[in-house]
Amino acid sequence: MLEWMTLDDPAPGPNDLVVELHAAGLNYIDTYHRSGLYPMTLPLTPGMEGAGIVVAAGASCRRFSVGDRVAWSTALGSYAELVRVPEDSAVSVPPSVSLELAAAVMLQGMTAHYLVTDTFALGAGHRCLIHAGAGGTGLLLIQMAKHLGAEVFTTVGTVDKAALVRDAGADHVVLYREEDFGISVERIAGSRALDVVYDGVGKSVFDRSLDLLRPRGMMVTFGNASGPAEPVSPLRLMQGGSLFLTRPNLSHYIATRADLERRATDLFTWISDGWLNVRIGARVPLSDAAGAHRLLEGRTTTGKLLLIPRAS
């Protein structure tokens, strides 16, 4: 039950910033917090990601001051006109990147970044499958995978989404509602030909995806859009060819300040250079966060959904 209400303005703790929100990013993790898939203490102001202008800084803050443009991906409570953001969670937004784009790229962009550079480091000659290619993370993953030289397979639900992912650089597009994605991939690549599967969908595609991996290939399951994947026996991985299975989380890949800044700097540089396109699928009033959740869970959106406060 997401309700729009008025609360007292937040005050910064010694190591906090208070930021006037320009845009908040909507992510599936927000729906997991709301539904209880990821249990949270209630009452809760949801939202993890956003960008805006610093309006107050705690006494111990040294990196940022009032007037700075900042963005973040791990500040719970971001569905608010004024957001308390730990200074260590914020990064500086360069003048070449708009605050809307910064809000749109932080969580999904850094997720895509670590998936292709660290979890399974893609390179020339690799074959990957990216599920839900027309979503916010999927479109970024496709572009990064192609930039690194990989051959990209992807699944989408509609013809319009197929056009989007082809424009992003996907080599092979499967309309999963019309054909079995596994059969389609095998018809093109052969049996057990993929190096890695990047799966943000979960339950509906997980088991079939394992069948597509080469011996010692990697299954990377990072989301639950169709529900959590069923438990898998370690013997299933052995029988599939000594497969690797990982369930990564962004927080572990930006645990140090150096990692956070490296990933954010890469994203902002790639946007400024012009080859990384961040698609904003819709802008929804912050007061209608419930409607935005319905849009995201309806699986009809493409790109990134942003929540925009009245002041913006």
* Residue pLDDT tens, the chain, 312 long: 899 999 999 999 999 999 999 999 999 899 999 999 999 999 999 999 999 999 999 999 999 999 999 999 999 999 999 999 999 999 999 999 999 999 999 999 999 999 999 999 999 999 999 999 999 999 999 999 999 999 999 999 999 999 999 999 999 999 999 999 999 999 999 999 999 999 999 999 999 999 999 999 999 999 988 888 999 999 999 999 999 999 999 999 999 999 999 999 999 999 999 999 999 999 999 999 999 999 999 877 788 999 999 854
**Residue 233 half-sphere exposure, CB side, CA atoms within 13 Å?**
5
Q: What is the pLDDT of residue 185?
A: 98
Q: Locate 244 and state its tokens.
A: 């690797």
Q: State how far the Cα of 58 lies from the Cα of 173, in Å rounded to an integer.
A: 49
Count of all residues that appear for the chain in the document: 312
Q: What is the helix (H) or strand (E) element at residue 109, kind and residue range?
A: helix 99-114
CB 195 within 8 A of CB 149: no
CA of 140: how far to CAs of 133, 143, 153, 164, 227, in Å?
9, 5, 14, 12, 22
Q: What is the rounded distance in angstroms from the CA atom of residue 183 to the CA atom of residue 253? A: 34
Task: Specify the pLDDT at position 225.
Answer: 84
| pLDDT of amino acid 299 | 77
pLDDT of residue 244: 98
Tokens of 309: 């406060």
- Nearest one of 120, 74, 154 to 248, comparing CA atoms: 120
Backbone angles phi, psi at 117, to 5 degrees: -105, -25
CATH code given to domain 16-106+278-308? 3.90.180.10
Which residues does 25 contact at the CB level (< 8 Å), separation at least 6?
Answer: 47, 48, 49, 50, 73, 78, 103, 104, 106, 107, 108, 304, 305, 306, 307
- String of DSSP letters for 243-299: -EEE---HHHHS-SHHHHHHHHHHHHHHHHHT-----EEEEEEGGGHHHHHHHHHTT
Please report the pLDDT score of residue 312 as a whole number. 47
Query: In 10 A of CB 180, how many CB atoms?
Result: 12
The CA distance from 1 to 5, in Å, is 12
- Domain ranges in the chain with CATH number 3.40.50.720: 124-247
Closest CA to 111 of 49, 195, 34: 49
- What are the residues facing 35 on neighbouring strands? none
**Bridge partners, 244 (sequence order):** 218
Pair type for strands 16-25 and 82-86:
antiparallel
Q: How far apart are alpha carbons 57 and 60 in whole angstroms?
A: 8
Looking up tokens 């597009």 gives: 173
At the top level of CATH, the class of 124-247 is alpha beta
- Is the CB of residue 303 less than 8 Å from the CB of residue 139? yes
pLDDT at 303: 85
In the chain, list all ranges with CATH 3.90.180.10: 16-106+278-308
For position 311, what pLDDT does the model report? Answer: 54
**In this structure, what token pair is assigned to residue 128?**
């990957």
Q: How crowded is the C-beta side of 147, counted as CA atoms within 13 Å? A: 19
